[in-house]
Structure 1
């Protein structure tokens, strides 16, 4: 038996002739060519749709470009201008309020609904679909228009308040004190996407943990804090990163609710809306490109911070 094994090993390790090596290289080359041909559409899309525009926008951020005349190199002028632009600073403040307040509230509502759906209620597929709909529709122009009507002076919200005996004459979307909060409420309402992910994560937690805790006399709240949250922390972290990135890119809601002005008094002037106003409203494409790269840096930095902090509160069940 050992002799047969040695013979097989010697046969497998026999040095190949130059002709065999050339044939194998030719065959490998054909395989590589086939692979690159299949990858070609993706590579073309990567260069034309992603890498090309990124490089072009980086170049334009150092120029004075109005879409009509050729770009004129200005160096760091656009970036220095951002330091002295009060409307940009206000747009950053409004956007950070939107992200810092809206994202945790949205995730909390999504987790709460997921916990309810995880109780094994009848018609789970139907309720899951209904609750997911806001995520599909929340970023649409139609929903933003509906939201503006609901929170208008004579909108449904004020009519309901009057039925409850409250003399409501507030134009929620036309009052600087409330306009941003109506858009935050719209953002919280679009909880469907993180809810579905939370529900999938809850279903992966072994039931034996809850059974053992119940035997030890743990309350529902204790089981939630000591079992559900730690085991669900990777899913919470995943949703947090995605929703923060998505919130910084919000545009449609503020544009439609404010009629594209960011009003009243710039209270809904999101960063992306101000970027759009500079680029396509005032044809300052170089400045808009610099603003876009600042947004990339901000989102990238916050994502990196989230990953650094995750080591202190995200637990993986290895």
Structure 2
């Protein structure tokens, strides 16, 4: 079933500008921690914050937490200045910073492999996805689950591909972020298609969400695979697109989306405690409502759910 929405969101033109600002080379650039410079202890360390004493000494010595982040509206949208980051991630960072007592800074990079390896090397302290937690990832990272997601497919209005529901994607071409949860979902959809006697879905892995939308606009693929939150944001910002959502019988389980920290820096359990505070004080609910994400909220945060059964 195709979906459209009239909800106002960040202009898509801003999203498109991110790709030009960040490029596809994998190089990083510093970005401001959030949309409200006054939110949290952005000017310095607050040793009186609720969970400051629980932070690892390495984080206290650094005086900040460094997040890796790619261009992925509405989670992260980088302004035209190449420095200001707004979005769900920035709003959550501001709330987490208030509880943890240290500023949070985002470095923009490209590609999930670069962010995962960057955390393991100590370059970044955390990454807030959207990324699916798995037993394999939890072997190296602590995963704090704070939302769920369903994969959706963005299609241009007026497309002659004949895509009215997700079943129509069989035999079509789809672009998605390389290594993301959407790639796995496309694989499951393709398997469903073949089980129906239809052609498989051809997946093209690209650097980020903006690159997938550009591929759709250029006619290189029929649709872009994104999280449902991203699909809502894209369609809200422009009447040029609609989206269809993958169904449960097509392999679309409700995936647990996590904030990852390397186990080596011992930050994960403290971030989990900080999320517990945000759930209790209403900040989590506030952020999710502001971004129209009520359908993907959870009742409480989870730590390493793929392995802690």
Give TM-score, length-normalised by structure 1. 0.22
Higher gyration radius (CA): 1
Give TM-score, length-normalised by structure 2. 0.23
Query: Larger % of strand: which?
Result: 2
